Copies of this chain bind each other. A is one copy, B any other.
Amino acid sequence: MNDVNKLILPTGVSHLIASRQTILPKRLVAPGPAEQELEQLFRAAACAPDHDLINPWRFLVIPAQKRADLGELFALALRERDPSATTEQLEQAREKAMRAPLLMLLIVDETKGDTQIDLNERVLSAGCSVQNILLLAHTMGYGTGLTSGKALKSESFRSGLGLHAGEHAICFLSMGTVSERKPFKTRPDIDSFVNIWGAEHG
């Protein structure tokens, strides 16, 4: 047992983890986290396991004044993969950039530091950092959601956001105040994702 137990009981942390749910960006409204909260959130992200300390991931925050530019990148990526996209579809693509008071892109670098550490390990470390952010944001009272989409792989999108070769845009992380909460989705049964090596599969 260690010092943490004096502050937080496992049942509290279990509850914290279980009571977080994904909120779609369209249901995340102002206010978003204040500057001091943002700093705490990023400090939590920095505590992800990264045994070789290469810090292979980064967050690119999309500030308010750049949302329209991001929307144009979404629309451009859509036009590139579907030249017949309608004006309405392009407008929907643009609108996705306007949601949630805090919007940031998670980027993982495949080449930084020791190249023996493969992309999967780097993305795993990024996932740990993201979960730290999601849990702390939840404790602060903010809703969060991870979203992705085909634009993330588009060259125009990548170059528009200044991604280097070797960098992968993994997903967006949106955060804000929850305007509407949907019922919880059922979590998978433990039996469906835990096996004992050598035991018969049920």
Contacts and interface: CB of A to CB of B under 8 A. Distances in A.
Interface in A35-73: 37, 39-40, 42-49, 51, 53, 55, 57-63, 65-66, 69-70
Nearest to A19: B4
A58 B193 contact: yes
Interface string A12-23: 111111111010
Nearest to A150: B116
A60 to B, nearest CB: 5
Contacts of A65: 198
Contacts of A86: none
Contacts of A182: none
Instruction: Give the copy number.
Output: 2
A125 B124 contact: no
Of the candidates A4, A62, A129, A189, the one having the most CB atoms from chain B within 10 angstroms of its own CB is A4
Given A4-B19, A58-B195, A136 B14 contact: yes
Contacts of A40: 10, 14
Interface string A169-202: 0110000001000000101111011111111000
Contact of A12 (B7, B70, B148): B7
A130 interface: yes
Interface in A138-170: 138-141, 145-148, 161-162, 168, 170
B139 A10 contact: yes
13 contacts: A4-B16, A8-B12, A13-B139, A17-B132, A46-B189, A48-B127, A51-B146, A61-B197, A63-B198, A127-B129, A127-B131, A129-B131, A132-B135
